[in-house]
Amino acid sequence: MRLGTALPSLFLLLVPALASARPITVGVGVGSVQAENDWDDQAEDELHAFGRVGLTNRVSGQLELQKIDYSQNETTVRTGTALIVVELGQSGRLVPTMFAGMGIDHAEDPYGYEQDGTHIEGGFGLEYRVDGGLVIGADVRLGGRSVDQDEQVVPLEGDNRALYAPLLIEGEYRSLRVGVGLRF
């Protein structure tokens, strides 16, 4: 079978499987992110939205969008992450989870400078699932970020010198997040 005829057949087989995938969870949350090499050694606030689709009884795929505002250098970082989420068991309404994934990062500041990067992360969480589909969760994550070094130089005012000012912070980071979602 040629690849050109195999792809439509594979697509037709997967569409019903994805359409009947259960459960589906969507939600939002807040948290705190601290980078190992941060400018001010202070944690930064983050907002995130996520969507999760069950692949098997205990394994799900999750997509997240996150926004982090760094107050020290007025930089806004937006990330997109694809994760595999594994339910480690279930004790009544409490469900411990483990997850790992990777994603892309984009940072920009008010002066028009931009920088891109990638990250990998993993961690553990705990969800409380209420009848009717409400999910309340918290998780702890560790990650690492690689930055595309495009060497943007920022001129210093009143001086002939220049300063290299990266927008994304390369290296390890950790985060603590809480969120709420609907499971259907």
- The structure's pTM equals 0.80
Confidence of residue 33 (pLDDT cuts 50, 70, 90): very high
The domain spans of the chain are 22-183
Helical spans, DSSP H, in the chain: 3-19
Q: Are 52 and 40 in contact (CB under 8 A)?
A: no
Residues 162, 164: Cα–Cα separation, whole Å: 7
Indicate the CATH number for domain 22-183. Answer: 2.40.160.20
Confidence of residue 148 (pLDDT cuts 50, 70, 90): confident
